[in-house]
Structure 1
Amino acid sequence: MKNLLKALSYFLVIGSGLVTIFRLNKTNKQLMARETTSFQVKQTLEAIAATLEKTQESERSTSAEAKQSSLDSVENEDLTSKDELKREVKEEAPPLIKANKNARGEYIYHVPGGVFYDRTTPVEWFHTEEEAQAKGYRKSAR
């Protein structure tokens, strides 16, 4: 009789342990689903922000082209004002280097002509590789 009670108590302990494990597994699955959704929402928001920034950059680029055409039309102004306008046009050129964070959490930048350049959804844009490196990004391997 004692042995039977011992065996039953062991089964109860093992059974309650299994129930606890199954409950934790279900909770883990729910948490993972929430994290995945949060990550996807964050990526979407970053892509929207990058698109907005790119749109603003293209508007600036259009403005720079207008300044360039006004530079071409100016003939009688002195050389220093022409140089200033040229400098402004160069400074407002749209950035071409795309930067983002990959799935492993690494900060990577992509230059035009790179394998992943067209597929990259940028989080940040840079004019030069030095700017990207100064912000902590490394160059894409391909």
Structure 2
Amino acid sequence: MPRIDLATVPGQTGSGYPAPFDRAAGARVCRRLEGPGGISDFNITHVELPEGAWSSQRHWHEAEDEFLVMLSGAATLVDNHGETTLGAGDCVAFPKGDGNGHHLIGGPGGCVFVVWGVPEASACHYPDIDLALDGATGQYKHKDGTPY
């Protein structure tokens, strides 16, 4: 049966960012769904975001398209264009290489969304902080290239 029972998929709380950048996304809960679903061509992440918590640091990918669907609740999308309120049913596209740094902040009561993209094998940029993800190694580095 193709239905995935979310209760059987372990959630990971927090982020893999180095300190102090890990704190803002420390309360998010992510469940990776591609494995339980038998999917291998793209990543699928179910995210629970409490009120005020960040989905991530504001970022953009050089070679990874992302697509997000809000399932419930509300969030504020923060990107290069400003702030946009999102609610259940809203969809957002983040084209690869466009330089539009983005993240979500959980609204009143929090929110749940699903985001998917290709497996992360490309560089990721964080315009607001001294952080970059090396796509070749998957390692976080300072913007000058020195490792954390």
Q: TM-score range by the shorter chain?
A: under 0.3
Computing the radius of gyration from Cα coordinates, the structure with the larger value is 1
Higher helix share: 1
Higher RCO, Cα 8 Å, sep 6+: 2
TM norm structure 1: 0.20
TM norm structure 2: 0.20
